[in-house]
Amino acid sequence: MEDARQLDRGRMLAEISNGMTRLHREAYGRGADSVRTIMQRNYVCSFLEGIYTPVERTLLDAGEQEAVRGTRLAFQRAMEGRFTELVEQATGRKVAAFLSQVAFDPDVAAEIFVLEEQANEPDGEGVGTASARASGTETNTLA
């Protein structure tokens, strides 16, 4: 039973990772090079690596970090509903809060979702990770 539950959790996290890649690709014209989603209790966090477009790379090389940060954060606000819907559908739980951040070195973004409290979930329950790569999906689940 435990193995089946871990497999289901791995599939759920892979669904979120793949969905994040798809949403970024649709909105930016390219997805992240890799996406890793982790979950513990009431928290889901997707880390997206290799996110910047050629235009953003050009701006970053010219020292325009704040222009890129501002555009990325505006994008996250515009996409919040779609990101939240993805996580709610995958987890079957309501998202209480969404937070987003970007970094330049390393080239990474974090999409963080706080889920509403769920009764009957002991501490440590729900620990897992899943990854998606541009060339396919790689999933691993931690106990």
Pairing of strands 128-133, 34-40: antiparallel
Q: What is the pLDDT averaged over residues 53-74?
A: 94
> Which pLDDT belongs to residue 9?
87
Given a cut of 50, whether residue 11 has pLDDT beyond it is yes
Q: Answer whether 23's CB lies under 8 Å from 85's CB.
A: no
Given a cut of 60, whether residue 133 has pLDDT beyond it is no
90, containing H or E segment:
helix 65-91
Q: Give residue limits of the domains in the chain.
A: 2-140
Q: What is the pLDDT averaged over residues 116-127?
A: 64
Q: Answer whether 16's CB lies under 8 Å from 112's CB.
A: no
Residues 6+ apart with CB under 8 A from 63: none
Give every strand in the sheet of 136-140, ordered side by side: 95-103, 108-115, 43-49, 34-40, 128-133, 136-140
Say whether pTM exceeds 0.75: yes
Pick 92 or 129 by higher pLDDT: 92
